[in-house]
Structure 1
Amino acid sequence: MQAKLNKQWIKHIFLQLNSIQFHIAFSFSALILVIITIIGFVSYDKFSNTLEENAKEYNLQLTKQVKENVDYYIRYMDDISSIVQNDPSFQQYFSSNENGSFIEKGEQENKLIDLFNSFINARNDIVSIFAFGYNGQILKSNPKLKIKDDIKIENQDWYLAAKESHGEPVVSSSHVQAFVDDPHWVVSLSKELKSTDSHARKGILLIDLNYKIISEICKKVQLGSKGYIFIMDKQGNIVYHPQQQMIYSRLKTEMITQVLNAKGKSFVIDHDGERKLYTITTSHLTGWKVVSVTNVNDMIMDGKKTKKFFMMMIVISLLLSLLIAIVISSRISRPIRKLELSMKEVEMGNFDIELDFSYNHEVGRLSSSFNMMTRKIKELMQQVVEEQKALRKSEIKALQSQINPHFLYNTLDSIIWMAESDQNEEVIDMTSSLAKLFRISLNKGNETVSISGEIEHVKNYLLIQKMRYRNKLDFIIDVDPAIMSYQTIKLILQPLVENAIYHGIKNKTGKGLIRILGKEVEGKVLLQVIDNGVGMDSSKIKNIYSDEYRENSKGNGVGVKNVHERLQIYYGQDFGVSFQSEVNQGTTVSIWIPVVTL
């Protein structure tokens, strides 16, 4: 008893799982889950990308600001060099003319030193100013500063670079100014100064900027717990780095090559076991690159919380969607089950049943559509019956049209005449062709025949007519062998050939020619009957299927319309017979049929 109850329970569960209500609820829940999951992940990805893009833009603005601040000091030093160069005392003091008195030289030197010190005293960012004349004169902002005896100023890198730049300012990277007894970390601007009138080269001006200024500018920037800014020159030398000593001692490395080769304004790379964002701004004044380095995890500090929030929303949405799906599927499946019971009658073949539903939703409209479908099926079945009757009648007409009494009488009369004239070979040929003609026409009662059989039938007909008309008629058959095995309804060419003889060739002066062509064109079979007879005008072509034309025709006018109607009944409105003709030029009849194989 318990086993029977278990079996019934399992069967009930199986039916429930296989019900449309379960499928709707499951599909609806799965769809909602997929949509919410996709939206969640896309939103999270979009959110993360937006944070990253905002961080990139923020870092870019910071690096631009640092670049502008550093450029400001460089421009200030360049302005100092221009002021010194245009000062008359400088022009006279560093002149190669030695005619000035010692007193005048002393006064000029004091004025220049005062000028230098005015710049230094005005702000604390300038450490020292030196002027090295090509005439051997040397000026220092602080006369107490001593230049080391073992140092040749002319061999210093900043001196050589300024001399080669011909008046353009040269900014050196951060370094220790080692040619004086009291060295400092500085950033130097060196520039060759020239005469204001003759552009004669006077000497080299050296301005040292306190390195702490650069350091303070960069340290003010906040880039998370692990972010920082460093500056490098166009050759890849470090100008500033918060861990500069570790860089020099090779305890830390930077992505110098990647920064120099970067094509964009930023890139993300794994470095020192962390994923970092490098943002780069290049100074057009110095060629230096200001680089901000940010830890990607610092940019998205709440990434895990955001992901957890999205996962919770997905779970809650799934539970809600499951509850809604159960309710909706129940309401949908109830009328469908009623519809299923009503349709059982239709499955048994009762097309007279009418479903009666008062629902205004899709199920009600489905019931209405089903009623329309059953009525349409009944109509189509009746239409098929009527078409089959019409097809049989047209085939009988086609067979009758082929056995034209006049044609049969004339053929037999020709056979008798040739027999009396002892033309035995011609008698045999005509009798054989006539026998083949009727045998293919009957075709054992089959409705269709191969195209090769249809060609053979019309060939026998043409052979009989050629023997009757002798020098009046000739024919050519040119059909692509590839289509010979295709199937067609029988007796479609002979009525058209007969029409061509009686309406085109018979009334023509001289010898007539009929060509039978066949080929496949764009997935369809094209058969053509072409004659060089008297042709027709457009009015005759228009009325060729009319009763008036058949009554006035001396040949078998019934056959032309019969062929066209049978083709459309068998193959549809896209197929049939068409005419092209010109008076005294001939007529082309085209038959279009589908490609049908056994």
Structure 2
Amino acid sequence: MMKRLFHRFQKSLRYKLMLLMVTIAIMPLILVTLFAANTTKQSLSLEVIRSNESRMDWAAKYLDEKFDQLQAVSYSLLLDNNLFPSGNGGSDNGVNSPDAADSYIQEKLRSLYIANNKNIVQISLYLKSKHRLFVVDKDAVSSTGQLNAPFGNWGDLDQSFESVNRVMHAAHNNFTLVRTMNRFENREVLGGISLDVRWNMMNSVLDMIHSEPNSQVMILDNQGNIMYNPYASSQQEALSSEVLKKAAANSDGPGHMELKQGLIFYQPAVSGQLRIVKFIPMNYLTKGASSTLSFSFFTAVIFIVLAILVAILTAYYTTKPIIRLTKSMKAVEFQNFDVSVSDIRSDEIGTLERRFNSMLQRIKELIQIEYKSKIEKRTAQLKAMQAQINPHFLQNALQAIGGIAISRNVPEIYEHVRAISDLFRYTIRMKSDLVTVADELEHVGNYLQIQKLRFQDMIRIHLDVDDECRSCQIPKFSLQPIVENCFVHGLEGKMAEWSITITAQKVLDEIEISIEDNGVGMEETRLEELRNRLNDESEDRELGESLGLGNVHSRIRLIFGEEYGLFIDSRAGAGTTVKVVIPAVPQHGEEEAV
């Protein structure tokens, strides 16, 4: 199937044009669609990164403000001289009895809890001076000697001079804020406060950066452990602990990471103790691009379909006249000449159609001319065959006369009759227009023998022919008309002895045959006129015109080329020389018999 389809595209101009136009139409649409989708995705990513980095910065500031509010609760206890009389170098304000002091502490913690119970779950106050832990929650205010705390034991801090300010994770979506009270002079631990706080007091901060659907916003400690994740869902992709630790390890400042799953933003807060982390899944980034891609895709599909239709229709109507012309040419190949093109167009294809019609008409005319020529040729051959009857009869009669001359012992008569007979036989011989130089010289010899019978001892013949010239080809009846002109125009009227010299020699790749007489010659003007007539007579000659120098010259040039032919030189009173120049073409094969 693919091979047939490929063969069809390879052989048909219409399918090639369709494929080319469809490709030209589709490729820009595909490239523009992909470019638009990629650009939209990049632009959306940049916008998301820029807007979220700004939100994360504001969220960190608001989160710090929330913790400052919690620190203010701690400071309200730590700066109370009744609770820590020696913390800032002050003196006791007069609460001396243990019962009065415990009552003051409990009342202080109760009022502080009531004022902040919306966010604070429990307040714990440790006093080193009493070595007791006071705790207030929604139920009551109590004190205990058990000093255990989420971070360890308060009693362990008595012997240290370390200042503690720590945020710790607690159960039930709570966290603990721990702070110690140290003496200003030597940093001795006097006590401490721990606040159990609800994480949801930070929701207003986290909601500010939870701007994308399916995004996750969480708070981590500086080891990468999740402390608060209010937007966790089973449908959301859980982030690996390695990724969270990597985000928490970037303590240099805020930033983001691009992962295959999406974008992760991180922002330090609360003096670097916490990390605000936001994760935006990749499907959110691709969703905006996918809408653009979908729109671009459907638009591209519509325009591609239109482009294909336009390309097919354009290619069809463009190639239709060409295919019609091709079918007409194929019909001409099978000799059907009645397929001329009608409804000719006015464009370049119309020019081809007009030229085809003109060519078809010319072919018809040439066929008719060739048909007539064949008929005329056959008629001429028939007449020539009929005309051969009389020369054959005359030749047979001459041979009979020659036989009588031999029987009566008159050899001179026999020789002259034989020459005339051979002359007729050479004339009527049915063979090609080319003969050998030897045959043509033999014919000239027969002609000269007849002329010697007429002029007796007035004429001398000199013949000098190279052997390598004898087998070369020459047009029939090329030399005899030249020799005849020697008698007609050169020798008659001359009272002295006549002389005709015939020489043939090979010069490089040419044969030069010279026929020279000692006749009256020609004046220069007459010679120039004769040369011009030779060139004029090289054109077509009408039937029935006698063979002459012009005819011989034209035949040689027609057969062998313009550089060959007759070349005449003459001087008045000194004679004329006619040189025949032909190429040295040896004859191949046997000649036809008479």
TM-score over 0.5 (shorter chain)? no
What TM-score, normalized to structure 1?
0.41
Larger Rg computed on CA atoms: 2
